[in-house]
Structure 1
């Protein structure tokens, strides 16, 4: 049989992920803050896009002389907003050159000009007729751990050599405030004696807050106890045997510390108020406040589900500006292609934001429908729920529901919950009733343990029996897994602690 090259025509179907489709999918899983940042980037790149103000007007990005678009000339994605709703970005629109002209190399303006620039700052006109503004609203960034330590080093060491050693040791600080380094290696590198390293380290351990520059948890607690003048031989023995304390082995700790149960309980109370990670209070990570994407309210015996208007982005497509610039582009193919591409991207973003909001609302509505008993009566009535069951009910793909529920929050009369919270595994019923949610079972285990008495501490087997009486078919290893996940000690350790506390109280 001869081999030869031939041409064949073949038809087939395939799913093609266009860049815009991939971007639409990505928008679903963005948080509120991430979405605002993304829109800011799009507004900067696309001259046809603008942020919409809370009252529906264009944001502050419009260039001077541009005509405001009519309602019929603009595409809006703008839900109803309260009168006080404002974009954070609108309130932070002043540039450094406007506020601090001397920093940009410009001449210092006269008083009238300065007053005009001052009025452009966020919150202008909101502090009374006298024209003064509340500068307390512009607070400084809190210092980081290293900045806090560096400031103390400057005032604590007179010698340049000691400052150099202190700075080198400070380079080994971890976020919790501990240091881990080899004194001999540091001494060799800086060409000093190890005694000098130890001396500086001892001085660093006197810094505030107490416990910084410790090399272990025991040393961290010992430093804090010395500041309180409570580091006696008994407390030293307790701090040196933290492994026994973690196991709640009070029977072994009492002779080691030379105290009775009452004194041991008092010592434990002192240990509990210490800070095992003093550096964490200087965490430099920016804290993001949780803002609910969906709000659920009681409504005439049912539940009202609506999107939070504060988390909905508002963008405007300026079609009037597009028409004016297109007319001035003449026969330039490059300019026309650029404008058409900008219009296409703007239309896509508007539709994607609209679709994102509708998808979130649809998923949230189905969750509320499935978890009606939880909203009415509490976590004991949380039902098992899977992404697939919600996806099938609303006619979406399971992956879409997964993206929608990631990092999205729902405000309910029982608190703010991440949408993922409502999706829990199913635990079979010991009778013919409905299955139980794993979260509800964990809550029930916690309730049983909290109700224990020193004379009757429940073992995992006993908890299994009580849960079966409540209609929950669960294995002992599952109870142990849930208990450990909630950081609850074993029955033996709980019994030791409860009896010691009871005797101390008596």
Structure 2
């Protein structure tokens, strides 16, 4: 009898753990919707919606605009919905699509090479590239999941049916704008100077960062954060705001009301409540580990942000990297340097050499250099790379150009202001 009871207890614990992992993969809004739908058919389940207060700074208009932004889909949610058909197929295809989504930067570009994803699954890079092509054709707006500025612009041109041999030639030589002008592109490509100017005019009408429209910065700053990091007697401490997550309770059973249906409803409600408690505990474990790993950021700001991958947090907390990604998606943390998205604290390494530097750290240094440059003599990508090297950051000219583009700065030739 005792062995049978132990088996039932073990099976129950396994079910609750599986349920909690399923809930953990949901966003706060997805979880709320799921619980409310369940409560409609289970009268014993009582659901309290999360309280999403807004930080109203100036006026009622600000509040209304913030609420509209809060309701809009994030980039992560948008592309997941757009690629629902591919994800529903399951198997390796769905896992590769999930990996591509995880590596999507706020700009809409991929933030990791395909070789890394291929290595994760032990498959050829060409296989990942074929899935990427499929994803790029399925998702809107065009340009999402691009690996470079040229690819981002080409995808948009293809959708508009404006890709011809001359345009492709100009796209392939955009780097010449950094060191010269349209005439250099004309000489290199054999395209007439006037046609090169027409191509450049068409390119300027495109969106180099198609993902940015899904993440208005003011929306993140005006919503109450999910947690706050404050300095305590033993270092940085995390204070979690419980009201940012939905909660459940169990209704009292009327006396004498007993049936198999009621017993099943009570069992479901108890299992969900226990699973939700486990989800909350897991979320706090991941966020607490994130804060421990990025203490330097809370001390000094973005320039001190260490490289940190989802896989690092996954190994430290015992969860899968994709689960960690879902936990941090949309999660806001308030610290001494303002409100920041938790995913923004997971920045991969951008340089190697005497020490790795995170992409966010390098981009913060680049922004400082670009903001203080002489408009009459803007810094070239080669000069930016040299200045970063003087700061101990080893970065190629090509990567300096990529991060400069991600920051929204045009090539030096287009930034120059003549007196």
> Structure 1 residue 480: deviation in Å?
0.8
Is 1:393 the counterpart of 2:316? The answer is: yes
- Identify the structure with the greater helix proportion: 2
Counterpart among 17, 20, 23 of residue 24 in structure 1? 20
What residue in structure 2 maps to residue 377 of structure 1? 300
> Structure 1 residue 19: deviation in Å?
8.7
Q: How far apart in 2 are the matches of 1:470 and 1:88? A: 44
Give per-residue Cα distances to partners, 1:198-243, cap 9 Å, x unaligned.
Answer: xxxxxxxxxxxxxxxxxxxxxxxxxxxxxxxxxxxxxxxxxxxxxx
RMSD of equivalent CA atoms: 3.4
What residue in structure 2 maps to residue 292 of structure 1? 225
Contact 2:50 2:245 in 1 (8 A): no
Is 1:36 the counterpart of 2:36? The answer is: no
Give per-residue Cα distances to partners, 1:242-267, cap 9 Å, x unaligned.
Answer: xxxxx999999xxxxxxxxxxxxxxx
SS of the residue aligned with 2:256? helix
Counterpart among 218, 238, 256 of residue 324 in structure 1? 256
What residue in structure 2 maps to residue 315 of structure 1? 248
Q: How far apart in 2 are the matches of 1:465 and 1:251? A: 26
Q: How does 1:243-258 map to 2 (within 5 A)?
A: none
**Structure index of larger Rg:** 1
Q: How far apart in 2 are the matches of 1:88 and 1:412? A: 20
What residue in structure 2 maps to residue 353 of structure 1? 276
- TM-score normalised by length of structure 2: 0.53
Q: How many residues align?
A: 250
Q: How far apart in 1 are the matches of 2:334 and 2:269? A: 31
SS of the residue aligned with 1:356? helix
Contact 1:391 1:397 in 2 (8 A): yes
Counterpart among 414, 429, 441 of residue 362 in structure 2? 441
> Structure 1 residue 459: deviation in Å?
0.9
Q: How far apart in 2 are the matches of 1:323 and 1:35? A: 32
Give per-residue Cα distances to partners, 1:282-321, cap 9 Å, x unaligned.
Answer: xxxxx89644222222222512213212213232213x41
| Distance 1:312-1:41 versus aligned 2 partners, 3 A rule | same
Q: How far apart in 1 are the matches of 2:228 and 2:358? A: 23
Q: How far apart in 2 are the matches of 1:20 and 1:44? A: 21
Structure 1: which 5+ runs fail to align? 1-17, 53-85, 90-136, 143-246, 253-286, 327-335
Q: How does 1:332-347 map to 2 (within 5 A)?
A: 336-347=259-270
What residue in structure 2 maps to residue 487 of structure 1? 408
What residue in structure 1 maps to residue 189 of structure 2? none
SS of the residue aligned with 2:257? helix
Structure 2: which 5+ runs fail to align? 1-13, 53-62, 69-176, 184-218
SS of the residue aligned with 1:321? coil
Q: How does 1:96-495 map to 2 (within 5 A)?
A: 290-300=223-233, 302-318=235-251, 320-321=252-253, 324-326=256-258, 336-431=259-354, 434-495=355-416
> Structure 1 residue 352: deviation in Å?
1.4
Contact 2:19 2:272 in 1 (8 A): no
Q: How far apart in 2 are the matches of 1:51 and 1:428? A: 47
> Structure 1 residue 409: deviation in Å?
2.0
> Structure 1 residue 40: deviation in Å?
2.2
Contact 2:230 2:335 in 1 (8 A): yes
Is 1:48 the counterpart of 2:44? The answer is: yes
Q: How far apart in 2 are the matches of 1:323 and 1:32? A: 35
